[in-house]
């Protein structure tokens, strides 16, 4: 395994689900919010994005699955490669990319009136995918999201009837049901109780063998618990965000190269 300023390049790069950002810059109108971000996010592994609010972590995550372009004034430059193929190539449909690269948001967003069962299958429905064994997909996905035992006797209840932590796990189950290559998670636990947080972390641990995970978190303990790589983002006042340092999580926390990384991971700012 080699660690460069851009992150971790890895002998496992041939396995599917390798995501790579090359020279990504981003704007909202004429406000530049990201500057030349390079990051390799290896398969079978969890990459944590850390850094203070406003430094572009969510924007970067949305660029990784083509949600950034949904904002009318949003622009970007650079490349994003999934298994060495540019997700922004002219012949690639955004809906295809978003099916392969799922996203879980800070605020759980299940369809509140839909049943738990239907919520899990809703992503498949959106992509027009029919499965021969929907019951099995629902159970497997809910088990992977550590929610099955809590809801198996009430799959016909509305998604909106669940607690916040359960709703978030339902959203994770919905994302996993389409069997994505990558799962992007934007502060998925910041509104959750400790039990749900632990369950989500267990899920991340379990799925990383099959799904490349990229997670934004402000919780430094969580970053250390769940991730193998970290990228530290920073933005000086009114300047675009950039990566100060990326590398193995053990190095970012135990032996950072940059003093600002050291200060941030030790809670001295942000
Ligand atoms: N939809 C938007 N329109 C205009 N500016 C935005 C939008 N979303 C984010 N920004 C700006 O982009 C910068 C980065 O924001 P964001 O990616 O949300 O940072 P973080 O997730 O690190 O807190 C901020 O200055 C924010 O105000
Ligand atoms: Mg954010």
102 vs 4: CA distance, rounded Å: 27
Kindly give the distance from the C-alpha atom of residue 114 to the centroid of ligand 1, in angstroms, as a whole number.
31
pLDDT at 12: 47
Q: Would you say residue 144 lies in a domain?
A: no
Task: Please say if the pLDDT value at position 8 is more than 60.
Answer: no
Q: Is the pLDDT of residue 14 over 90?
A: no
| Host domain of residue 67 | 2-109+180-265
Reported as a pLDDT band with limits 50, 70 and 90, residue 270 is confident
| pTM exceeds 0.85 | yes
Q: Which secondary structure element, helix H or strand E, spans residue 95, and what is its range?
A: helix 94-100
Ligand nearest the Cα of residue 237 is 1
In a domain, 11, yes or no: yes
Q: Which residues neighbour ligand 2 (ion) by CB within 5 Å? A: 58
Q: Give the closest residue (by CA) to ligand 1 atom 21.
A: 58
Identify whether 148 is part of a domain: no
SS3 content of the chain, % helix, strand, coil (to 5): 35, 25, 35
- DSSP state letters, 97-116: HHHHEEEE-SS----TTSBH
Give the mean model confidence (pLDDT) for residues 39-67.
Answer: 97
| pLDDT single digits (tens) 178-221 | 999 999 999 999 999 999 999 999 999 999 999 999 999 999 99
> Is 61 among the domain residues?
yes
Q: In total, how many domains does the chain have?
A: 1
């Amino acid at each position: 395994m080699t660690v460069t300023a851009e992150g971790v390049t890895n002998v496992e790069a041939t396995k599917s689900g390798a995501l790579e950002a090359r020279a990504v810059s981003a704007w909202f109108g004429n406000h530049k919010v990201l500057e030349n971000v390079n990051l390799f996010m290896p398969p079978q592994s969890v990459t944590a994005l850390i850094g203070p609010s406003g430094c572009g972590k969510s924007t970067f995550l949305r660029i990784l699955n083509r949600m950034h372009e949904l904002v009318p004034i949003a622009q970007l430059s650079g490349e994003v490669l999934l298994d060495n193929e540019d997700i922004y190539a002219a012949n690639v449909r955004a809906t295809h990319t978003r099916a392969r690269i799922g996203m879980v948001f800070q605020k759980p967003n299940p369809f509140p009136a839909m049943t738990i069962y239907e919520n899990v299958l809703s992503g498949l429905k959106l992509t027009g995918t029919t499965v021969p064994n929907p019951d099995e997909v629902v159970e497997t996905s809910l088990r992977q999201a550590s929610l099955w035992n809590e809801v198996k006797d009430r799959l016909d209840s509305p998604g909106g009837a669940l607690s916040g932590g359960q709703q978030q796990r339902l959203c994770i189950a919905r994302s996993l049901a389409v069997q994505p290559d990558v799962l992007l998670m934007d502060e998925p636990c910041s509104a959750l109780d400790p039990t749900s947080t632990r369950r989500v972390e267990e899920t991340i641990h379990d799925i990383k063998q099959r799904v490349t995970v990229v997670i934004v978190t402000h919780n430094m303990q969580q970053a250390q618990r769940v991730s193998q790589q970290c990228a530290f983002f920073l933005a000086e006042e009114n300047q675009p965000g950039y990566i100060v340092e990326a590398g193995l999580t053990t190095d970012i926390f135990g032996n950072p190269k940059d003093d600002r990384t050291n200060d941030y991971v030790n809670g001295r700012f942000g």
